[in-house]
Chains A and B, each alone.
Chain A
Amino acid sequence: MTWFDSAADAEKKLSGSGYLADQATATTTYLAGALEKPLLVEGPAGVGKTELAKAIARSTGAELIRLQCYEGLDEARALYEWNYKKQLLRIQASQGDDQTWSETHDDIFTEEFLLSRPLLTAIRKETSTVLLIDEVDKTDVEVEGLLLEVLSDFQVTIPELGTITATRRPMVLLTSNATRELSEAVRRRCLYLHIDYPDAEREHAILVGQVPGIEEKLAREIVDTVTRLRALELRKAPSIAESVDWARTLVALGTGTLDQATIDATLGVVLKHSSDIDRAVRELKLRQA
């Protein structure tokens, strides 16, 4: 299937589903579809990495399958496992019958007893699918080996069932916050996109798009203040997610304009560490000494 006809088409479709991509993001997304290569997306938290995968699925009518990574994720959770409880019960139940062990064995290693996990599910899907492998840096290195295997030929061998090959390759997005360095091999296999904080114009458009009823002027002021906050060396700079939250809060409070006192009162929505709040209060001169 063709995912997008061109970079411009990707930009248009993504924006139609509420995701405002810059040129690099649109171009790389188009290429990931056209070249059928997995796309590794890195960048700070809250800049729209996960949302990109969701938006691709929404805008192309594909199904989204998500593998959320965490420390300790293993093959049984990522790929497949046998439902051994059910198998045990089946063995117990067949003990009275005159079925031979090999017959029972053939019985219990069938589709009925297979628990398919996201990677296998995505490979077996015959309709178009976006596979999101989210926060891949949280897994252990071993899982990376597994991903690499699956992503290189989109097939999985289950000893008891044989080899399953994707009839239709899913579009694969991996996201990472870079808490762990991903292996060279994974990087080489993937296309790479680094998403950063948006420029003022795009952030403004995102706010207007996501926060119903927001005034132009207020949106400008929020973008402006958030940009200034990002220039401070904070422990956690505000991301798009935070500026959207802030805009929602201010609209809900019925705020028309963002003055010093309002910033001071609502800064907790944008900044998560108390030391960051202190620094912002000082640098923005929010309170008179």
Chain B
Amino acid sequence: MTLLDRHIAFVEALRSAGLPVSLSEGLDAADAVLTLGLHDREGVRAAYAATLVKRQPHRAGFDHVFDLYFPALVGDPTKPVDPDADPDNEPAEMPEGAQGLGDGPADLAAFRDDLVNALGLGDPDALQTMAREAVQRFGLIRGRAEGEQRWSSYNVMNRVSPGELVDRVLQGLLADLDEDPTMRRLVEAQVAVFSEMVDAEVRRRAAEVRGPEHVAKYTVRKSIDQIDFTSARKADLEEMRREIGPLARRLATRLNKHKASRQRGPLDFRRTVRASVSSGGVPLDTHHRPRRPSRSDLVVLCDVSGSVANFANFTLMLVFALREQFNRVRAFTFVDEIHEVSDRFHPGADPIETMASLAASAQYASLWGRTNYGRAFTRFTELHADALGPKTNLLILGDARSNYSDLGIDVLQQMVKESRHAWWLNPESPRHWNTGDSGARDYEKVVKMIECRNLVQLGDFIHDLA
């Protein structure tokens, strides 16, 4: 493959993995790589990243694809790649076991002992070497022939089980396992790094057999801002949480925008004329009345039922972040009963504790445990009618699945009428609205219903708030 071919194929693979690369960015990238030269792989990575990855959440996917198209080594991990060699002419990898590295129980135990040491040292190079070795020795899928994909991270994780080594690593570092909980987190992070390295090594080997396009297409995960809330894994949720603060700040700025745009406050005519006397009647300086610092209020209703558990987790974090931005946020959770949780969000409170206390309070939002939007809205107007007013922005978060119960459309309509603005963010695709027990299409008639499946859509919603 010539350099240009490789460049074009790489950019194409990034696009099909969902990274938006424009034509001009592709050209910039080629410029950058030529300017820099190809002698240093990490330099090439940096040049491509600088020109093609313009958002940090896209970085992980970029690295996956980069590693496939610019592998650090070819074939057998024990032989480092010769940078001048044409990778297409490399000899095929050596048969496994050729270096006398077995995969029997004793070999496995010895390998795990070594891994305990490497995890304790936190040396990325050592971990890298061990990850490659782990795949070579313990990742083989039996019965597959040369030329087929023969390596599996599942096999490696199953046999090596690095997660079970955490305690052993800690024993080497601390006198008492619970002496310092932060240490455990650091070791767990090392285990995650190791697992990711194993995955990358398996992808690299698969790419040698099946071609990088194929692997890029099927194994690169979506970037965090494109993952659906409802299908997010625990680690994804944590990553999403980190993105929330900025989003909340942007949402607050948008909702307060009409005031911010009039930055100076209205002209104070009298003071301006009075001051102009000293300059012969020419108003050199204009005087303005102070701006009234009124921030609009926000009322949030969150569905916390099981069907939207992930989404609720996420939206409560959003509410938490919004609490920092709005003077008055009132937050309510509901399943079939409404429960005010505003006082659990103190300014300056600890997010993790807040989430725990919210989780514990979810029981109050539930009477029978079956979502009932109509009942929740009715109870809201009975108990908290005072929450809404002409300055209130009302935000409803939920999937509109009400177990075929009364939807309470009229009640919601009245709530919308009493607020300044109202929006409903729905974590389901419009394709599913009004399928099964969803009442989304009915609610849509009285409130602006917006699809909000992932961070990109949440960002778009905020962006479109004019």
Do A and B share a complex?
Answer: yes
Q: Which residues of A contact B (CB under 8 A)?
A: 7, 23-24, 27-28, 30-31, 34-35, 37, 39-40, 42, 71-72, 85, 88-89, 92, 140, 177-181, 187-188, 190-194, 227-229, 231-233, 235, 273-276, 278-279, 283-285
**Residues of chain B within 8 A of A27, CB atoms compared:** 36, 43, 46-47, 50
Give 27 A-B contacts (CB < 8 Å), ordered by A residue.
A7-B36, A7-B43, A24-B46, A24-B49, A27-B43, A31-B35, A31-B47, A34-B35, A35-B31, A39-B50, A85-B284, A88-B282, A180-B253, A181-B250, A187-B54, A187-B55, A188-B24, A191-B28, A192-B55, A227-B186, A231-B185, A231-B186, A235-B350, A275-B349, A275-B353, A279-B352, A285-B181
A236 CB to closest chain B CB (Å) equals: 10
Asked whether A180 lies within 8 Å of B180 as measured between CB atoms, the reply is no
Q: Considering only CB atoms and an 8 Å cut-off, how many residues of chain B contact the other chain?
A: 48
Asked whether B54 lies within 8 Å of A232 as measured between CB atoms, the reply is no
Asked whether B56 lies within 8 Å of A23 as measured between CB atoms, the reply is no
**Residues of chain B within 8 A of A284, CB atoms compared:** 180, 182
Contact with A along B391-419 (1 / 0, CB 8 A): 00000000000000000000000000000
Instruction: Report how far A27 CA is from B41 CA in the complex, Å.
Output: 12
Asked whether B50 lies within 8 Å of A180 as measured between CB atoms, the reply is no
Contact with A along B427-454 (1 / 0, CB 8 A): 0000000000000000000000000000
Q: Which residue on chain B has the smallest CB distance to residue A91?
A: B282
Instruction: Let me know if B348 is at the binding interface, CB within 8 A.
Output: yes
**Residues of chain B within 8 A of A227, CB atoms compared:** 186
Interfacial residues of chain B within 1-57, with CB under 8 A of chain A in the complex: 22, 24-25, 28, 31-32, 35-36, 42-43, 45-47, 49-51, 53-56
Instruction: Let me know if B179 is at the binding interface, CB within 8 A.
Output: yes
Instruction: Let me know if B351 is at the binding interface, CB within 8 A.
Output: yes
Question: Interface on chain B toward A: helix, strand, loop, or mixed SS?
Answer: helix
Instruction: Let me know if B77 is at the binding interface, CB within 8 A.
Output: no
B189 CB to closest chain A CB (Å) equals: 7
B255 CB to closest chain A CB (Å) equals: 14
Asked whether A283 lies within 8 Å of B186 as measured between CB atoms, the reply is no
Asked whether A179 lies within 8 Å of B246 as measured between CB atoms, the reply is yes
Contact with A along B340-359 (1 / 0, CB 8 A): 00000000111111000000
Instruction: Let me know if B260 is at the binding interface, CB within 8 A.
Output: yes
Known contacts A7-B36, A23-B43, A285-B180; decide if A231 and B189 are in contact (CB<8 Å): yes
Asked whether A191 lies within 8 Å of B51 as measured between CB atoms, the reply is yes
Additional A-B contacts beyond A188-B25, A275-B350 (19; CB < 8 A): A7-B43, A7-B46, A28-B46, A28-B50, A31-B47, A34-B35, A42-B56, A140-B260, A178-B246, A179-B246, A187-B55, A191-B50, A192-B54, A193-B50, A194-B56, A228-B186, A235-B351, A279-B352, A285-B179
